[in-house]
Amino acid sequence: MRFCALATFWRFATLHVAPLIKPPLAVLLPQYCKVLDRSDLVGVLRCGDSSDCREHIGCLSLIPTKLRIANNYSSVLFSFENIRDRETMTGPAKITSKTGVEEFLSKYDDFLFDCDGVLWQGDVLLPHVKETLNLLRERGKRLIFVTNNSTKSRKAYTKKFAKLGIEVTPEEIFGSAYSAAVYLKKVVKFPADKKVLVLGESGIEEELASEGIQFVGGTDPALRRDIKPEDYDEIVPDPSIGCVLSGLDLHINYLKLSMALANLQVPETLFLATNIDSTYPTHGKLFPGAGTICAPLVLASKRQPISLGKPSKAMMDCVKAKFEFVPARTCMVGDRLDTDIRFGQDGGLGTLFVLTGVNTESDILAENAETVPKHYMTKLGDIFELLN
C-alpha cells in the first residue's frame, strides 16, 4: 500500500511538479525523494496541513507554504514561495574571503543585529565590530539592532553603545521591552484605563511609559519582600489590571508570582512575555533567561504567554511595521540559532550566524541540525578584516 502511494507520488511529481519548480529545486527534488524512506513519504502524502509537512520534510529545509493532498493525487498543490535557499539545502556557506564578503554584502540593504554575542560579550566589544558597522554605514546599509534583553530601554541601550564607542540612535534599536509596548499600543490597542502588571526591570517600565501605558509592579520596592500570612487573603485579581507582562526580573519572588497568577486566572487578562529565552548568556556563562520568570506562571495558570521577542512572529511584525524593509534584501545577524537565526528564517530574511556567542560551528554542521543559517563566519569583524 505504501509502495503504491510512493510510486503514484513519484510519477506525479516527475510529470507535473518538477517542471514547475525553480531550476535549483528541480535538481533537488529527486534527492529529496531519495533520502526519505517510504514511511516518511507516505506521511507527507497523508498530511493535511503545512505544519505536518514542515515536520516531515524539515530535514531538508524544504518548506512549502501550502501542500494540500486530496484523495485524488492530481490535486496536489505545492507553493514554493517560502522554500529555503539553495545554500541551506547544501549546507551553510562559510564566508572566509574578500570575494565572499563582497558577494554577501551585495545581497542585502538592511541588517538586523543581535547584540550580545555578536557586537560584544558582556561589556567587552568584539574585535573590529566598530570598523565593520562603520563600513556598512559607508556603503549605505541600514543598521537595526534587535535585542531580547528587556532589562534596558532603547535609551539605556544607546548609552551602552556609546560607552563601547559605537554611535547609534534610539530609533535604530528595537528591544523586546519596546516590542511589548508597541504590541500593546498598536496591535492590542490596550485600554487607557487599564494597567499592566510588570514582572521585570526598568527597561520595560520606560518603554511602557514612552507609549503612555500605565503599569504597576516592576521595580516597585514594596514588592521586593517575602510573602506574609495576610497576603494569602489580600492577593486577589485587580480589575484595573488588563495584562501581565513578564520579562527578565532580577528580583522575582513568590509574592510577585502570586499576584501575577491571581490576575491570570481572569481569562480576559492578557498574558505577554518580552521573550521566552531559556538562558541569558553573559560574561561567558549562562544565567536563567526571561523564560524562566514566566515558566512558573505557565505551569500554574496553564496559559501560554504571547512572546514579543525573537523568534516570535509578533516581534517580526512590529519590526517590519516600523522599518518597512524588504525581507529578501534584509539579513538577520545572530549568535543563537533558536532565537536569532530562527527569527530571520521565519521572517523570510537572509541569515548570518557568528561563532562568538551561544552556538558553535558543530551545531550547524551536525547532520540533525534543526536550524541552519544561510551564511556564517567566525566573527562579525571578519567583514572588515577580509576587506582590508
Is residue 201 near Mg ion by the rule CB under 5 A? no
**Angle in degrees, CA 149, 150, 152, rounded to 5:** 90
Applying CB under 5 A, the span of 185-193, 251-259, 322-330, 331-339 interacting with Mg ion comes to 331-339
Residue nearest to Mg ion (CB): 117
Is residue 117 near Mg ion by the rule CB under 5 A? yes
SS3 328: helix
The residue among 126 and 244 lying less far from Mg ion, judged by its C-beta, is 126
The residue among 164 and 235 lying less far from Mg ion, judged by its C-beta, is 164
- Whether 371 contacts 342, CB under 8 Å: yes
Applying CB under 5 A, the span of 94-102, 110-118, 235-243, 300-308 interacting with Mg ion comes to 110-118
Count of CB atoms situated within 10 Å of the CB of 8: 12
Measured in degrees and rounded to the nearest 5, phi and psi for residue 347 equal -90, 0
Applying CB under 5 A, the span of 62-70, 89-97, 107-115, 206-214 interacting with Mg ion comes to 107-115
The residue among 117 and 217 lying less far from Mg ion, judged by its C-beta, is 117
From the list 340, 300, 289, 372, the residue with the least C-alpha distance to 117 is: 340
CB of 340 to Mg ion, least distance (A): 6
Is residue 205 near Mg ion by the rule CB under 5 A? no
- Whether 130 contacts 163, CB under 8 Å: no
SS3 42: helix
- Give kind and range of the element (H or E) at residue 202: helix 202-210
Total number of residues that touch Mg ion (CB under 5 A): 5
The residue among 110 and 114 lying less far from Mg ion, judged by its C-beta, is 114
The residue among 190 and 343 lying less far from Mg ion, judged by its C-beta, is 343
CA pair distance 72, 223, nearest whole angstrom = 63
Is residue 116 near Mg ion by the rule CB under 5 A? yes
Residue 109 a catalytic site member:
yes
CB of 336 to Mg ion, least distance (A): 5
CB of 248 to Mg ion, least distance (A): 14
CB of 357 to Mg ion, least distance (A): 5
Is residue 277 near Mg ion by the rule CB under 5 A? no
**Distance of alpha carbon 290 from the chain centroid:** 14
Half-sphere exposure of 161 (CA within 13 A, CB side): 25
CB of 347 to Mg ion, least distance (A): 17
Q: Which of 109, 231, 338, 363 is catalytic?
A: 109
Which listed residue (177, 335, 379, 384) binds Mg ion by CB under 5 A? 335
Which listed residue (110, 114, 277, 382) binds Mg ion by CB under 5 A? 114
Applying CB under 5 A, the span of 13-21, 111-119, 134-142, 303-311 interacting with Mg ion comes to 111-119
The residue among 46 and 283 lying less far from Mg ion, judged by its C-beta, is 283
CA pair distance 57, 348, nearest whole angstrom = 18
Cα–Cα distance list, 285 to 146, 296, 340 (Å): 21, 23, 18
Half-sphere exposure of 222 (CA within 13 A, CB side): 4
Cell of 265: 486566572
The residue among 42 and 146 lying less far from Mg ion, judged by its C-beta, is 146
Cell of 383: 567583514
Q: How many residues does the chain have?
A: 388
Count of CB atoms situated within 10 Å of the CB of 94: 16
Over the window 349 to 368, marking each residue x when it contacts Mg ion by CB under 5 A and - when it does not, the resulting string is: --------x-----------
Q: At what angle do helices 38-46 and 2-12 cross, to 10 degrees?
A: 70
CB of 35 to Mg ion, least distance (A): 33
Binding site for Mg ion (CB under 5 A): 114, 116-117, 335, 357
Residue positions annotated with a catalytic role: 109
